[in-house]
Amino acid sequence: MISQVQGLTGVLQKEIEKAFVGTQDVIHTVLIGFLAGLHVLIEDIPGVGKTTLARSIASASGMDFARIQFSPDLMPGDITGITAWSQEKREFFYKPGAIMHQFILADELNRASERTQSALLESMQEGSVSVDGKTYPLPHPFFLMATQNPLQFAGTFRLPENQLDRFGLSVSLGYPDADSEVTILDLMEHGDPFSLIKAVTSPNDIGQARDAVLQVRVHEKIKHYVVDISSTTRKHPLVRLGMSPRASSHLLRAAQASALMHGRDFVIPEDISAAAASVLSHRIILSPEVRMEQISASDIVKEVLSSVSLPSGIS
C-alpha cells in the first residue's frame, strides 16, 4: 500500500500544479492534512490562490465539492441544514445544508459570527451534524479546508480557541515571487486553468489511503517525544495556552501521513519535528505581552523543538 499512496500523492500534486502555482512545501503540507483526514486552515490576504488550491485538490481527487462563503448574515442552519415541513407528505423532513459534501471550502471563515462558526464544530470532530435532536452523517471521505483573513482586516471575528484546535494543520501562501506570478498570468491568459484538471483518483482511493495512514507504526519513544513537546509548550512562560491532547494526536497523525508519503510504514522523529510548525502554530496562544515584542507562535515552536531531545534507538 505504501507505493500506492506514494503514487497517489504524486499524481495529485502534478494535477494540482496545472492550476495552482505555489511552493512544494505548501502543497505537501495540505496533502498531509488531506490524506490524514486533518482539516486545514489557511490564513492569508485575498487573491493569493487559497480558493484555487482547494478547488484543484477537490477536482483532482474526484471528490464532491462545495464552497461556503462565510459572511456576517450566514446562519448556522445554512451550513448544517434545517428541519422543514412537507406540505405534500404532511410531515417534517431534513433539508441538507451546504456541509453535506465530501470536500468543503469554508471561505473567509472569520467573517461570520462565532455562533455560525460553531456550526462547523461537530462536522469537523464527529463527521456528522445534529439538527433538532437528530444526527446525520456527512459524506465519506470528508475534508474541510478553511480560509481566514488577517485579523486587522475589516469585518473579521477572532476564531475561538476550540475552533482553532479542531484544525489539524495551518499554512500561509504569501505573495508569489516574480517567476511564479508570470506563470500565473500564463495560465490565465487563454482561459480557466481548472479546465485542465481531471480526476486522477477517486473518493474510494482517498478513503483507502487514510486507512493506510492509520496502519503506520509508531514506536513508544515517538509517543513520548510528542508528549515531551506538548508538556514543554504548556510550561513555557510565554505561552498562555499550550498544546491540547487533541493537538498531540493531530501531530502524531500528520507524522504518520508524512512517513507514508515518504515511502515508510513507520514514523521517525524527523516526521514529528517537520510537521510541528504547521500543526501547532495556529493553536498555541501566546501571552498578550509577547505579541508586542513581535514573537510569533512559530518562533515558540522552533524554540520548543530545540529544547526537547530527539529520541534515539528507534528501529
The CA distance from 159 to 286, in Å, is: 15
CATH number of the CATH domain containing 242: 1.10.8.80
pLDDT digits (tens, 9 = 90+) for 4-29: 888 889 999 999 999 998 888 999 99
Query: Of 151, 171, 206, at which residue does a domain stop?
Result: 206
Mean pLDDT of 34-47: 90
Residues 233 and 294 grouped into a single domain: yes
Residues 201 and 236 grouped into a single domain: no
Instruction: Tell me if 229 is assigned to some domain.
Output: yes
Mean pLDDT of 40-60: 89
Considering only residues 151 and 117, tell me which one the structure prediction assigns the higher pLDDT.
117
pLDDT band at residue 111 under the 50/70/90 scheme? confident
Confidence at residue 154, expressed as pLDDT on a 0 to 100 scale: 59
pLDDT band at residue 201 under the 50/70/90 scheme? very high
- 299-315 CB burial, b ≥16 within 10 A, e <16: ebbeebbeebeebeeee
CATH number of the CATH domain containing 25: 3.40.50.300
The range of the structural domain enclosing residue 161 comes to 2-75+101-206
Q: If 0-12 CB within 10 Å is exposed, 13-18 middle and 19+ buried, where does residue 213 land?
A: buried
Q: Mapping DSSP to helix (H, G, I), strand (E, B) and coil, where does residue 149 land?
A: coil
Instruction: Tell me if 314 is assigned to some domain.
Output: no
Confidence at residue 59, expressed as pLDDT on a 0 to 100 scale: 94
> Strands 40-43 and 169-171, how do they pair?
parallel
Amino acid found at 287: S
* Percent of the chain residues topping a pLDDT of 70: 98
Would residue 142 be called left, alpha or beta, if left means φ above 0 and alpha means ψ between -120 and 50 degrees? beta
pLDDT of 69 above 80:
yes
Residues 194 and 221 grouped into a single domain: no
Considering only residues 197 and 289, tell me which one the structure prediction assigns the higher pLDDT.
197
pLDDT of 151 above 80:
no
Give the count of domains, the chain: 2
**Which of 24-38, 217-231, 288-302 bottoms out in mean pLDDT, i.e. has the lowest?**
288-302
Residues 188 and 227 grouped into a single domain: no
Instruction: Tell me if 293 is assigned to some domain.
Output: yes
pLDDT digits (tens, 9 = 90+) for 241-290: 999 999 999 999 999 999 999 999 999 999 999 999 999 999 998 888 77
Residues 187 and 158 grouped into a single domain: yes
* Alpha helices (runs of H) in the chain, residue ranges in sequence order: 2-16, 24-36, 50-61, 76-80, 114-117, 121-126, 161-164, 178-189, 203-214, 220-235, 245-261, 269-280, 288-292, 297-307
Backbone angles phi, psi at 267, to 5 degrees: -90, 140
Q: Mapping DSSP to helix (H, G, I), strand (E, B) and coil, where does residue 146 land?
A: strand
Mean pLDDT of 183-205: 88
pLDDT band at residue 114 under the 50/70/90 scheme? confident
Considering only CA atoms, which of 112, 219, 109, 218 is closest in space to residue 170?
109
For the chain, what is the mean pLDDT? 90
**Which of 99-103, 169-173, 187-191, 213-217 bottoms out in mean pLDDT, i.e. has the lowest?**
187-191
Amino acid found at 219: H
Considering only residues 201 and 4, tell me which one the structure prediction assigns the higher pLDDT.
201
Residues 245 and 116 grouped into a single domain: no
Confidence at residue 295, expressed as pLDDT on a 0 to 100 scale: 84
Does the pTM surpass 0.85? The reply is yes
Confidence at residue 93, expressed as pLDDT on a 0 to 100 scale: 87
pLDDT band at residue 152 under the 50/70/90 scheme? low
Instruction: Tell me if 94 is assigned to some domain.
Output: no
At 70, list the grid cell: 462565510
pLDDT of 165 above 90:
yes
| Distances 274 to 7, 179, 255, 262, 282 between C-alpha atoms, Å | 21, 27, 8, 12, 15
Query: Of 159, 181, 206, at which residue does a domain stop?
Result: 206
Q: Roughly what angle, to the nearest 10 degrees, separates helices 220-235 and 269-280?
A: 30
Residues 169 and 47 grouped into a single domain: yes
Confidence at residue 22, expressed as pLDDT on a 0 to 100 scale: 82
Instruction: Tell me if 211 is assigned to some domain.
Output: no
